[in-house]
Amino acid sequence: MLLLRRCRSLTRLQRHQAAPCFASRAVRLCSSSTEDQRSHQRANWSANWKRIVAGVLTGTGAVVTYGLLHQEVEQADAGLPTTERSSSLPVFSHDEVTKHRSLEDGVWVTYKGGVYDVTEFVPIHPGGNKILLAAGGALEPFWALYAVHDQEYVLEILSQYKVGELSAEDLKKQGEAKASDPYSSDPERHPVLRINSKKPFNAEPPPEILTESYITPHVLFFKRNHLPVPQVDPASYRLQVEGLPRGALTLSLKDLKTRFPKHTITATMQCAGNRRSDMNQVKEVKGLNWGISAIGNAKWSGARLRDVLLAAGFGPDVAKWARHVHFEGLDKDVTGSAYGTSIPINKAMNEDGDVLLAYEMNGEDIPADHGFPVRVVVPGVVGARNVKWLGRIVVSAEESSSHWQQHDYKGFSPGTDWSKVDHASSPAIQELPVQSAITVPADGAQIDRSDETLTVKGYAWSGGGREVVRVDVSLDGGKTWQVAQLRSGDKGQPDEPSPPPGRSWAWKLWELTAPLPPDADELEIICKAVDNSYNVQPDTIPPIWNLRGLLNNAWHRVKVKVTKD
C-alpha cells in the first residue's frame, strides 16, 4: 500500500517534470560529441537515440523492428559503451542503493553488479512509472517479467546511467535469489497464431482464417496479455466487490453462477492497437506490431455486473457519488501490483449496458488465456477494459489511477510527440470508433485474370453498441464504390436476431463478389464501414497517426496483382 501511494504521488510529480527532464537529457546526449575519442560514434548514437527510445517505447512487451535492433548491435560491436566497460567507479552496498527510491532521493537500480542512477530516465521510461517499482533494488526480476528489456540496445541506454558497482558480497546474495521464469506456467497455444510477443504472450490469427467463422473459436481469438497468465484454482477463487456502503462482498465462482441470472451476449472485442502495423509504416510508433486480427467475436455468458453491484448495495445514495467502476486482475507483477483499469459508472449500471462478469466463452469455461475463471466483458468498449482473471471490483468517485488508465490507451493528435505529450489532456479510450478490414484477398495476392470475378471478404464493427449498417468496397483505389453483403452469422446459416438499438455488440462479416475490372494489372482494394450513427472511417492514416499507434481505423487497403495465363 505504501508503495502504491508513493507511486501515485510520484505520478503527480512526473506530470510536471516529464518534459523538462526529457529535454535536459536530450541536450546532454546531443551535446556529447566532443567528449572523447568515440565522438563520431557517439554522435551517431545520439542521432539514433530518439529513434531507439521510440523503439524501446514498447510498453509492457513489444517487437522492435529488426532494422533498428541490427543497427544498434552493429554500433555496440564498433565499441560503444557497455555495462562491463566502466571500471573506476565507486562501490556501493545494497543498503546504500535502497536509500535511493524516489525522485527526491534519486532513483537507483542494480543490474548484474552495476549500480545505476536512472532518476532522469524515469519521465521517459516507456512503461511509465512502473520503473519506480524497481527503485532501490535489482532490475532482473522485472526484466524477467517484461521480456522487451532483453535487447542489446536497452543495455546501451542503461549504461549511460551507471554510477558505480555493487559490493561483491551483496552481488553474491542477489545471485542466490535469482528469479525464475514467471511465464513457465503459461498455457499451450495454437501454432497457427502469429506471435507479436512471447513474454507476455500476444498473438493474433491469420486474417483469412479469422473471418471463416462468425463466432471466433477461442484458440484463434487474439491473445493480449500484459503479464504472465495467473494460475487460479476455481474452488478457492474469490471475487471482492468493494467501495459500497455495506462493506466488501466476497463471491465464489459458485456464487456468481447461482446467485445471479446467467446472461449471454455475442460481443466483439478489439485491442486498441489493432492495425498498428499499418500506422507503424507511416511513422514509427510504440507498441506491439499488430496486424488486422487483434479482434474477435465470441459468445460470453456470466452474471451482469449491474446485478452484482445491486446485490452489493448499489442504490440511489451510491449513484449520487459513484462515477467509475475499477477492475483489478489477478495477473500481478513481481511487486504484487495487478493489472487494473476502470469504466464509467453509467456503462456499468445501465440496463442496456450488458457488462458481464463472464465465466463462459463460446459455451465453455473461459480458457486460461482469456481470463479463467472470470473476466469482465464490457461490450462496445476497448479490450483493455475487459479485465481478465478478475480479482477485485471497486466502485469509486474517481477513475482508476493505474498506468493503463492514465498513461496508456489514450489518443493524441498527429502533431503530438513524446516531448510534449500530456496524458492528462486526453480521455482514456472507452468506446471504439467504426472499423473494418479486408481479410481476403491478402495484400500482395495474385489474382488470375481468367477468374472474371473477384470475391472480397472482411469484418466490420463499431464501438458503443452502434450497428454497422453498410460496408463500401472499392476495387479501384477509392474512385468507385460497391456495397458489400453483410451477415451476422455463418455463411449459409440464418443471421442472429437483430439486437435493440444501442446494443449491437457483435461484428458483421461482409463479402462482395464483383467482375474483375478489365485491363487492370493491379488493384487497390479498399473497404470502409458506416455505423448507424453514420460515423465513417477516415480515408488515410497520417492524419490519425498517434505516438502510441492506437485507434487505426482508416480505410483498409490491400493491393493485388492480376496475372494472365
User: Please, what is the minimum distance in Å from the beta carbon of residue 298 to a copy of itself?
Assistant: 22
Q: Residues 125, 548, 556, 557: which is the catalytic one?
A: 125
Omega prior to 81 cis, within 30 of 0:
no
H or E element that contains 457: strand 453-461
Neighbours of 154 (CB within 10 A): 18
C-alpha grid cell, residue 181: 521464469
527 is catalytic: no
With CB under 8 A as the contact rule, the residue among 344, 371, 383, 391 that binds a copy of itself is 344
Of residues 104 and 352, the one with the C-beta less far from a copy of itself: 352
Residue tagged 468493494 (cell numbers):
242
User: Per rule CB under 8 A, is residue 379 in the interface with a copy of itself?
Assistant: no
- Give the DSSP per-residue string, 215-267: SPPTTTS-EE-SSPPP---TTT-EEEEESSTT--EEEEHHHHHHHS--EEEEE
C-alpha grid cell, residue 363: 459455451
What's the one-letter identity of residue 293? S
User: Per rule CB under 8 A, is residue 432 in the interface with a copy of itself?
Assistant: yes
Cα 207 from Cα 62, distance rounded (Å): 20
User: Per rule CB under 8 A, is residue 55 in the interface with a copy of itself?
Assistant: no
Omega prior to 499 cis, within 30 of 0:
no
Stretch that binds a copy of itself, among 91-99, 133-141, 244-252, 535-543 (CB under 8 A): 535-543
With CB under 8 A as the contact rule, the residue among 336, 415, 492, 494 that binds a copy of itself is 415
With CB under 8 A as the contact rule, the residue among 413, 445, 449, 489 that binds a copy of itself is 413
User: Please, what is the minimum distance in Å from the beta carbon of residue 466 to a copy of itself?
Assistant: 8
C-alpha grid cell, residue 191: 501454432
125 is catalytic: yes
Of residues 156 and 531, the one with the C-beta less far from a copy of itself: 531
Helices (H) and strands (E) in the chain, counts: 14, 28
User: Per rule CB under 8 A, is residue 469 in the interface with a copy of itself?
Assistant: yes
User: Please, what is the minimum distance in Å from the beta carbon of residue 461 to a copy of itself?
Assistant: 13
With CB under 8 A as the contact rule, the residue among 51, 445, 502, 511 that binds a copy of itself is 502
Stretch that binds a copy of itself, among 142-150, 257-265, 358-366, 414-422 (CB under 8 A): 414-422
Stretch that binds a copy of itself, among 242-250, 326-334, 357-365, 423-431 (CB under 8 A): 423-431
With CB under 8 A as the contact rule, the residue among 543, 559, 561, 563 that binds a copy of itself is 543
User: Per rule CB under 8 A, is residue 427 in the interface with a copy of itself?
Assistant: yes
Site string for a copy of itself, 434-463 (x = CB under 8 A): x----------------------------x
User: Per rule CB under 8 A, is residue 335 in the interface with a copy of itself?
Assistant: no
Under DSSP, the state recorded for 97 is H
Q: What number of chain residues touch a copy of itself (CB under 8 A)? A: 47
User: Per rule CB under 8 A, is residue 499 in the interface with a copy of itself?
Assistant: no
30 is catalytic: no
556 is catalytic: no
Residues 6+ apart with CB under 8 A from 9: none
Of residues 205 and 433, the one with the C-beta less far from a copy of itself: 433
Cα 277 from Cα 295, distance rounded (Å): 14
User: Per rule CB under 8 A, is residue 143 in the interface with a copy of itself?
Assistant: no
User: Per rule CB under 8 A, is residue 317 in the interface with a copy of itself?
Assistant: no
What's the one-letter identity of residue 202? N
User: Per rule CB under 8 A, is residue 497 in the interface with a copy of itself?
Assistant: no
Residues 6+ apart with CB under 8 A from 77: none
Neighbours of 150 (CB within 10 A): 11
Assign residue 323 a region (left: φ > 0; alpha: ψ between -120 and 50; beta: otherwise). Answer: alpha
Q: Residues 100, 101, 149, 306: which is the catalytic one?
A: 149
Q: Residues 161, 237, 409, 459: which is the catalytic one?
A: 409
Residue tagged 450488458 (cell numbers):
354
Cα 30 from Cα 49, distance rounded (Å): 9
Of residues 395 and 429, the one with the C-beta less far from a copy of itself: 429
Stretch that binds a copy of itself, among 123-131, 163-171, 292-300, 347-355 (CB under 8 A): 347-355
Assign residue 380 a region (left: φ > 0; alpha: ψ between -120 and 50; beta: otherwise). Answer: left
Neighbours of 143 (CB within 10 A): 16
Alpha helices in 361-451 (DSSP H): 403-406
With CB under 8 A as the contact rule, the residue among 224, 332, 528, 556 that binds a copy of itself is 528
User: Please, what is the minimum distance in Å from the beta carbon of residue 29 to a copy of itself?
Assistant: 26
Q: Kindly list the distances between the CA atom of residue 463 and the CA atoms of 126, 191, 334, in Å, as whole numbers in the listed order.
A: 28, 30, 34
User: Per rule CB under 8 A, is residue 396 in the interface with a copy of itself?
Assistant: no
- The answer to whether the beta carbons of residues 506 and 490 sit under 8 Å apart is no
Cα 72 from Cα 156, distance rounded (Å): 9
Of residues 80 and 295, the one with the C-beta less far from a copy of itself: 295
User: Per rule CB under 8 A, is residue 534 in the interface with a copy of itself?
Assistant: yes
DSSP 3-state of 292: coil
Q: Which residues are at the interface with a copy of itself (CB under 8 A)?
A: 344, 346-347, 350, 352, 411, 413-416, 426-427, 429-434, 463-464, 466, 469-470, 472, 478, 480-483, 500-502, 528, 530, 532-540, 543-544, 551, 553
Q: Which residues belong to the active site?
A: 125, 149, 224, 271, 409
